Amino acid sequence: MKDLEEKLDAILQQMRDFIDELQERGSAYPMFFYHQPEEDISHFVDGRWSLPAEYVYFLRHYVVERVTWDTGDYINLKIYGARDLIRGQEGYNYNPVTDEMIEDWPQNYLVIATDEGDPYCLDLSRGDTAIFTALHGTGSWHFSMAYDNLIMFLESVLIPSSCEDMLPVDIPVAYYELTITGEGKEKLKT
């Protein structure tokens, strides 16, 4: 866990530096990324959800106010810190108007971020920090894995959209042949 904490600290520092640089340029939008850890997150650790240790560490150190990320693939990404995490569930797994749980929401999914309404979630039944996402407004949720872990997700917000074309193109890709068979002699190959 010590190695993960060091990686998280490094990424969080890069995020802080990015926000500080924007503020120094005289950004019209006030944003704050505090350096002090969140004082009390016991209500997350001790009760409501069973959170992975890596994510608990993140919640203790990602203390933000009015920060949204519009870099890389994101239009207006809001990553929830401990202060906003419960409110971030509203409209996904909880309806605050009717004070009811939303039935078609996967109950093990915790919304940790949203981008223009598209949720980014942890599947708490897994015990890891793989990040899943789905498009909103399609009538039903069809989640797919977006990132293998929290660190990869956080790194993705540090890629400015103007630099996306500078990323290496020679990323190794493994191709496989899949044969789907059933009864009979017809086979489908993809």
Compute the distance between CA of residue 132 and CA of residue 152 in angstroms, rounded to an integer.
Answer: 12
Residue 16 pLDDT class (50, 70, 90 cuts): confident
Q: Provide the mean pLDDT of the chain.
A: 81
What average pLDDT does this structure show over 155-182?
Answer: 56
Res 182 pLDDT > 60: no
Between 65 and 117, name the one with better pLDDT. 117
Compute the distance between CA of residue 102 and CA of residue 92 in angstroms, rounded to an integer.
Answer: 7
pLDDT digit string (tens) for 67-104?
Answer: 888 877 899 999 999 888 989 999 999 889 999 988 88
pTM score: 0.78
What percent of the chain is helix, strand and coil (3-state, nearest 5)?
30, 20, 50
